[in-house]
Amino acid sequence: MGNGPSYKVKFRRRREGKTNYYRRYTYVINRATRVVVRLTNKYVIVQFVKFDPKGDVTVAVAHSRELRKFGWKGDENNSAACYLTGLLAGLRASKSGIKESSADIGLYTPTKGARIFYALKGAIDAGVKIPMGDVGVIKDRIEGVHIAEYAKRLEAEDPEKYKRVFSRYLANGLDPKDIPSHFKEVLNAIKSGEK
């Protein structure tokens, strides 16, 4: 711990690892509308936030729990759920008049193929312009093809482990091998339900 007359105690949220004040400062100076993506252990939250001197204003928000209303039976924080949540938030933001936005990924380290970028890809596909380079978003991962292939292989090799690994899918009435087709059903339900 530092001490002395020139030592400054950092802001509480910086000490707790919740806020990068330098990055926050650039958003405030630019007065940019941001798309804020946050991942928890169970859920995905996507918000479109406008700057206001009195405090930020949330314009549109989507939570991965809402996917259940559209028939989603899979996990609520995998790549497919991230994409669908981003799409839902993007459609709501488009309705609110947001045409472009900056990505705010918080304290996450931008890693190629990270789930955060699947949520941003969903918002882009909804019609919001978000500057994003090549971040390794793969169409098969969006649709859950990798999960279906793993489920097929695991069921053939070790049926007990298959039941254990995919117990939540099976309890919700979803065969993990059918995730790509289920994804397309939910995608169409979101597009028709949010128009």
pLDDT in tens, 29-54: 888 899 999 999 999 999 999 988 88
pLDDT above 70: percentage of residues in the chain: 98
Residue 4 lies in a domain: no
Q: Residue 30: which of 100, 97, 89 has the closest Cα? A: 100
Mean of pLDDT values over 174-186: 95
Q: What is the mean pLDDT of the chain?
A: 91
Decide: pTM greater than 0.85.
yes
pLDDT of residue 89: 97
Residue 11 lies in a domain: no
Residue 70 lies in a domain: yes
pLDDT above 90: percentage of residues in the chain: 70
Mean of pLDDT values over 4-27: 84
Which 3 state secondary structure label does DSSP give 149?
helix
Output the domain CATH number for residue 72: 3.30.420.100
Residue 57 lies in a domain: yes
Residue 9 lies in a domain: no
Residue 1 lies in a domain: no
Task: Give 25 or 155, the one with higher predicted confidence.
Answer: 155
Q: Which two tokens stand for residue 101?
A: 């936005």
pLDDT in tens, 49-108: 998 888 889 999 999 999 999 999 999 999 999 999 999 999 999 999 999 999 998 888
Number of domains in the chain: 1
pLDDT band at 110 (very low <50, low <70, confident <90, very high): confident
For residue 119, pLDDT over 90 is answered with yes
Residue 6 lies in a domain: no
pLDDT of residue 195: 54
- Residue-range definition of the domain harbouring residue 82: 17-193
Residue 110 lies in a domain: yes
For residue 124, pLDDT over 90 is answered with yes
